[in-house]
Amino acid sequence: MISSLNNNNFDLAVTHVPGLHVVRFWAEWCGPCRVMAPVYDEVAQELRDDAHFAEVNIDNADRLANKFRVQSVPAILLFRDGKVVDHMVGTIGKRHVIEFIKHNL
């Protein structure tokens, strides 16, 4: 399950929950984001036992985008203990996204 996060619920869902959190930052107007959406969904399904998955629409959460310096979307940020431990930007294939996440488990 992919949680939808915003300025109000991000800290409760990510900062205060232990484990690895994979968060996709995206926007509806972003063509590459639409391409990445099904890839992210598949990865979340496959790795659901290894990490928490969430997404942030930057148009509805500009404070979060600014806080984590998300300047380009799509972007995937990995959080552990509320801190960013790694990130990737752009349209990336499923295999590379899985390797990226597994490298940080």
Q: Would residue 33 show up in a list of annotated catalytic residues for this protein?
A: yes
In angstroms, what is the C-alpha Rg of the chain?
A: 12
Q: What are phi and psi of 14, to 5 degrees?
A: -115, -50
Q: Would residue 12 show up in a list of annotated catalytic residues for this protein?
A: no
Instruction: Indicate which residue of 33, 51, 58, 77 is catalytic.
Output: 33
Query: Two tokens at 91?
Result: 């349209």
For β-strands 75-80 and 20-26, DSSP reports them as antiparallel
Instruction: Indicate which residue of 30, 43, 44, 76 is catalytic.
Output: 30
Whether 76 and 20 have beta carbons less than 8 Å apart is answered as no
Q: Which are the catalytic amino acids?
A: 30, 33
